[in-house]
Amino acid sequence: MPFTRRNMLTSAGAFVAGTAFAPDPIAAAQNPAAQVGDRTTTIRIKSLKATPFGPKVYVKIETNHGVTGWGEIDQLEPKVAAALAESLFVLLDGENPTRIEHLWQKLYRAHRDMRGGPFMVHTIAGIDMALWDITGKLWGVPVYSMLGGPTRDKIRVYPSAKVTKPGAGPAEHAATPADVKRYVDYIQGERKKVGPDGLVIFDAHCAFPPPFLIQLANALESTDVAFIEEAAVPGNVEVFKRLKAAIKIPIATGERDRTIWEFVPYLQERCVDVLQPDCAHCGGITQMKKIATLAEAYHVPLSPHCVTTELGVSASLHASAAIPFFIVHEYYPQITPAGLLKKNWSVDKDGYASLPQGPGLGVEIDETKLEELSKKPHKPEWPTRGRLKDGSIADY
């Protein structure tokens, strides 16, 4: 057969095709993609225990070196969340706990039909906190030191003498003059409590349908409140755009949004002024730090939502300590059962929390007390919520 350009290309293609499928043990052994196993340390995850108590779940992760990490799962049906956390252990067993990003991705992407959503992401958030806790303890530093170090010396929290958050329950689809006056008087009363140098946050709680909220917001002065929290049901960006165009008061949202992928549309559409991710809802410390970076690119500050015990609060404070654009952090000490844990931060008279100290999250759990709390019956509150005067179901 004469040598031609066509023959040369055909022969070359056949050679490439043959070698592409031929086993090459030397190349496979040297392939960087095959070298993801950790070979720098012998620490491994050996167990995970999830303990539900009341509406919360505590996750305990143990390692073969005796270092233990704790995290909190929040705002789920606790027995289901605990079972899910323990079922996910199969993806963590024998892994190096310091590979936090790798393990987050493994948990999130492992099941193609379960990724996202509150049950999976809230559960991953509790596991993520525990992994950061372990890693901080191994390095002997607070978690925020591993996030780039603190960007502030203290963290403003609310409620306090200078920050208040009046809120609302389910509202009708249109406001009467009496409805508007009642809420305006309520909000202005809160403004008088904190004075002109204080913050008032109005929590619409997703409970105000857009017509009602537009009527109310436009009856207020733009400085009466710092921002309106949960102005609409999460995820409906078109509603947020409509509200943003009609309301002169800054708008905030985020406590029921999860991962960077659910926060991006608000920023891209420029329809919110403040983001309020919850560390226990958005995917843990790992995701909260990423959300803060996305928000920074749009000059949107964070005001983190938080209704966990002081275990989850501590995790959120570590993330908040390491971000640049920040307003104020939610914190209710009464949520934590007495005697359940010890923390190493406190809130001063001016409403500022000190930075958490000590390695990891800086929280110690009384496991005897936790076991005691887990045996108490729990009745969920949500079946009684979200009803209008006529008995129809409302957002809340």
Catalytic residues: 205, 305
341 in Cβ contact with 309 (< 8 Å): yes
Q: Which helix (H) or strand (E) holds 50?
A: strand 45-53
- The span from the CA of 289 to the CA of 279, in Å, is 9
- The span from the CA of 349 to the CA of 104, in Å, is 38
- The span from the CA of 184 to the CA of 166, in Å, is 11
**Cis peptide preceding 159, ω within 30 of 0:** yes
- The span from the CA of 325 to the CA of 243, in Å, is 24
27: number of Cβ within 10 Å? 9
Give alpha helix (H) positions in 140-236. Answer: 177-194, 210-217
338: number of Cβ within 10 Å? 6
- The span from the CA of 103 to the CA of 330, in Å, is 28
Share of the chain residues as helix, strand and coil, in percent rounded to the nearest 5: 40, 15, 40
3-state SS assignment for residue 100: helix
128 in Cβ contact with 98 (< 8 Å): no
What tokens appear for 43 in the block?
A: 């620490």
- Listed in order, strand segments (DSSP E) in 124-221 are 154-158, 163-164, 199-203
**The dihedral of CA 96, 102, 108, 110: what is its sign?**
negative
Q: Most distant CA pair in the chain: distance in Å?
A: 97
3-state SS assignment for residue 107: helix
